[in-house]
Structure 1
Amino acid sequence: MPATLLPPSPQKTGGAPAKGPLAALENASSAAILRVLRVTLHAGFAVLLAVALVRLFLDGGPLRWLWAAAAVVLAVIYLAGTVLEKRHAEARIGFNPRRYGLLWLGLVTALWAVLLAGSADFAWLAFPIFFLHLHLLPRRAALLTIALMTAAVIVSQWAASGAPVPHAAAVVGPVLGAVFSVITGLAYAALYREAENQRRAADELRRTREELSRSQHQSGVLAERERLAREIHDTLAQGLSSIVLLGRAAEQSLADGDEPTAAARLALVQQAAADNLAEARSFVRGLSSPHLEGTTLVEALRRLCGTTETGAAAAGLALRCRLEVDGEPQDLPQPVRVALLRAAQASLANVRDHARAANAVVTLAFLGTEVTMDIYDDGTGFEPSLAAGAPDAADGSGFGLRSLRERVAGLNGSLAVESAPGEGTVVAIRLPVESAVSDGAAPLEGGSDG
């Protein structure tokens, strides 16, 4: 068919609108230029065929109706081929007419040759047909058929003139027309290849963008899932664990007939539940921990130590927890404050639930451009290398250390765990706070409680 593939319509771009068809053509893409050339080719074919028919009837030859019928058949075949190809290129029909392109070209050329034999006025139809040969045939075959058709045009013009020898114009005109058609056809092919390359590049870019969008969405989902897991582990899971321990202790007190102790432990259960409800509500709203609202990090850590002691005592554990502060307290960025509080909550919960320690010390140090926090306990300890390589348990335990590492790493900090069986454990966290210092933040944190 005349066009092996119809490029997509050009997209509108920014800038001042083009004024007039010439300006629009200057600003058009290769696809738009190809479309204009194809429309011009088909329109030229129709005009030349109509002119030949008019001249045929004006001459009044005896076989004019026969040639007119052949011209109509040519027009129908030409139009059917172009319309079917265009509809297929636009995916409007499933039938693929391209496989019959050579047969269609042969019919068009044969009908033209028949019309040329009847009237020299059909000679000029050769020029739009030249483009079809260049487009559908291999280059050498197309040049050969164009040469033969040019010779047929020269012969028909010579025969129509009745001159003993062909006039120079009757030779030079068709030859120059053929040369121009070949050059224009080759330029069309180059533009077509460029348009195809642009279309493939645009398709590849669109696919790449879609894949990148999917990848970014998936990464965002995974990152949010990890964040949710950390927040739930460090808040709700630890709180629910405390409630379970306190509930068991209250149940044991009731079984022993110690109602005052049971009542005190149930009060702690209610307080723990209320605290976790507040955490859940803040978590849903996307806010920081309620333990940091309206208070300093030092005060929140001091309160956490007290809560840890109380919860351990209610569970029948003799655990003493204290907070020590080194350096001049500073106003820390909110993400740093939340990370340190979450780290202390998770670490002290592990001390209470697993370490069987008698003492725990939280040391918060302000070092100008960074802040450190160490959580020490004199409990049973463990082997850090084995814990780091162990998978998370089915109940979710074992997630805390990995979660803490990810939280600290997200703030460009570092975390170290020092422990050995029977020698206690130290969790050391170091976080940079250059932004808070450079902004000239005033010291707001409270002092040490000794």
Structure 2
Amino acid sequence: MIDTMDTTPARVRSTEELDRMWISQLRWWHIILGLLVGVTAVGILVAGMSVARTAIILACLAGIVVAYAVAGRYGFARPEEPRTVAYLVLAWVLLLLAISVDTVGISWIMCFVLFPHTWAMSRVTVAIWFTTVVSVALMVIRMWQTDWDPSALPGILIGTFLSWALSIILGLFIVRLVHEAEARATAIDELHDTQAQLAAAERDRGVHEERDRLSREIHDTLAQGFTSVVTLSRAVDAALARGDVATARDRLALLEATAADNLSEARLIVAELTPGHLQSRTLVEALDRLVGAVSAESGVRAALDVAGEPVRLPGSTEVVLLRTAQEALSNVRRHARARSARVVVSYADPARVVLTVRDDGIGYATDAGTGGFGLDGVRSRAADIGGAAEVTSAPGRGTAVRVEVPR
């Protein structure tokens, strides 16, 4: 058997594709941060605040950019690592400081990037706590900027709550989408793995079936042929010992023909072709030759009867019938101690063909065993094409092997 190498490129797993997609999106995080920092910085510069306030806010923005470049940009792939947490804490502290000294409120723009960073770099519970703490801090800063004016409290509370709720809802929604994408990718990978396992199992089943088929072919052809060769060689020795040269020559000619048939069978098994007996003959002709060979080799009076009009059958059906006859006659020759055997093939039924091999040998108790590998192979072959086989025998009453197969 030639083992072929699978040259199909390995399939990229869906989870790996998803990871690559997330990585490819990182540049947009960088771009968004850069744009919002730039817009905020320009707004601060043209807002007309004092030099000190402007310098503090710009320094805070620069600090956020540096923290992101050093640690934050790695947080998407490695969330909740110490440096990721350090980035989030430092970035929010710097932004809260910038907002606290910003009298025009431009620095609030940076919340649109830091809130998404918080959700992207943290577990859900941690992100909710971060959002809550930051929202409370922003509310306190707003109250401080109004000199703790009680009349401003309701508006600040409502604005803070809406901001907090919107951040939580959007964060949870995005996290859910991400989790669903990951779950879908995992399910696809598991499906492909299952399909690969099923394909491997199917290949293994095919290998086992092919081994069984070859075992049956070897048993039904080569093994029986070699048995015939051994039997004929012993007959030649016996004839020579008696000085019967003519009989020895006849047996040698038959031995040569048997060996040639066996060689043909071996070549055809390798080539997975039709059995050699059927290559250029009908089934009836092959059975007639088989019966004649058994009679010549063993001295058993074997005969063939045909009922009905012979018709050409599918190749697989003729193989099953021929192999059944070979196995049954081999058992007659080796085990039955029979004086005669009869092969009957019936085409009388328009829906099926029946082959029966009966001998007058010693028989055996069928409940003591199934007759060995060969008869098991007969049953298996018949079942493979929708047929059935049965063996009837009893001590002293001979044996009958009967196979029915559909046309």
TM-score, length-normalised on structure 1? 0.75
In structure 2, C-alpha distance between the alignment counterparts of 1:145 and 1:335, rounded to whole Å: 75
| Distance across 2 between alignment mates of 1:415 and 1:351 | 17
2:257 equivalent in structure 1? 271
* Counterpart check, 1:415 vs 2:389: yes
> Helix, strand or coil: the match of 1:380?
coil
Question: Secondary structure of the residue that 2:309 maps to in structure 1?
Answer: coil
Separation in 2, partners of 1:104, 1:404: 77
After TM superposition, list the pairs within 5 Å mapping 1:1-400 onto structure 2. 8-9=16-17, 43-58=31-46, 61-62=51-52, 68-81=58-71, 83-85=73-75, 88=77, 98-100=80-82, 101-119=84-102, 120-134=105-119, 142-143=127-128, 145-153=130-138, 156=141, 176-312=162-298, 318-366=299-347, 367-388=349-370, 398-400=372-374
Q: In structure 2, what residue type is equivalent to 1:245?
A: T
Whether the 8 Å contact between 2:63 and 2:91 is mirrored in structure 1 is: no
**What whole-Å deviation, never above 9, does each CA across 1:215-265 have from its counterpart, x for those lacking one?**
111111101111111111111111111112212222333344433322222
* Aligned equivalents of 1:199, 1:82: Cα separation in 2: 27
Whole-angstrom CA distance in 2 between matches of 1:293 and 1:161? 105
Matches of 2:72 and 2:288, distance apart in 1: 84
Report the secondary structure of 1:360's partner residue.
Answer: strand
The more displaced of 118-127 and 188-197 is 118-127
Give the 3 Å change call, closer, same or farther, for CA 103–422 of structure 1 in structure 2.
farther
The equivalent residue for 1:25 is none
**Deviation per residue, 1:20-39 (Å, 9 max, x gap):** xxxxxxxxxxx97x889876
Structure 1 76/228 Cα, relative in aligned 2: closer, same or farther at 3 Å? Answer: farther
1: CA distance, partners of 2:131 / 2:160? 11
Q: Is this contact kept in 2: 1:45–1:128, CA < 8 A?
A: yes
**Distance 1:234-1:66 versus aligned 2 partners, 3 A rule:** same
Q: Is the 8 A contact 2:388 2:403 kept in 1?
A: yes
Question: Aligned partner of 1:106: which letter?
Answer: V
> In structure 2, do the counterparts of structure 1 residues 63 and 248 end up closer, same or farther at CA, with 3 Å as the change threshold?
farther
How far apart are residue 169 of structure 1 and its match?
8.6
CA distance in 1, matches of 2:142, 2:41: 17
Q: TM-score with structure 2 length normalisation?
A: 0.82
List alignment gaps of at least 5 residues for structure 2: 1-13
Name the structure 2 match of 1:93.
Answer: none
Stretches of structure 1 that go unaligned for 5 or more consecutive residues are 1-5, 11-30, 89-95, 313-317, 391-397, 434-450
Q: 1: distance between equivalents of 2:232 and 2:146?
A: 117
Q: How many residues align?
A: 387
Q: Give yes or no for contact 2:75–2:81 (8 Å, CA) kept in 1.
A: no
Supply the AA of the counterpart residue of 1:130: F
Deviation (angstroms), 1:104: 4.1
Q: Are the aligned partners of 2:341 and 2:358 in contact in 1 as well (CA < 8 Å)?
A: yes
Shift of 1:383: 2.0
Alpha-carbon shift at residue 54 of structure 1 (Å):
3.3
Q: What is the CA deviation profile of residues 112-149 of structure 1, one whole-angstrom value per residue up to 9, with x for unaligned ones? A: 33433454543222233223444566667644543443
Q: Do the aligned partners of 2:37 and 2:61 also contact (CA within 8 Å) in 1?
A: yes
Q: Compared with structure 1, are the counterparts of its residues 46 and 411 closer, same or farther at alpha carbon in structure 2 (3 Å cutoff)?
A: same
**C-alpha displacement of 1:279:** 1.3
- Contact 2:361–2:398 (CA under 8 A) maintained in structure 1: yes
CA displacement 1:358-395 (0-9 Å, x = unmatched): 1000011111101111100111212222222x8xxxxx
Separation (CA, whole Å) in 2 of partners of 1:405 and 1:296: 23
- 1:179/1:361 Cα in 2 relative to 1: closer, same or farther (>3 Å)? same
Which is further off, 273-282 or 213-222? 273-282
SS in 2 for 1:412: coil
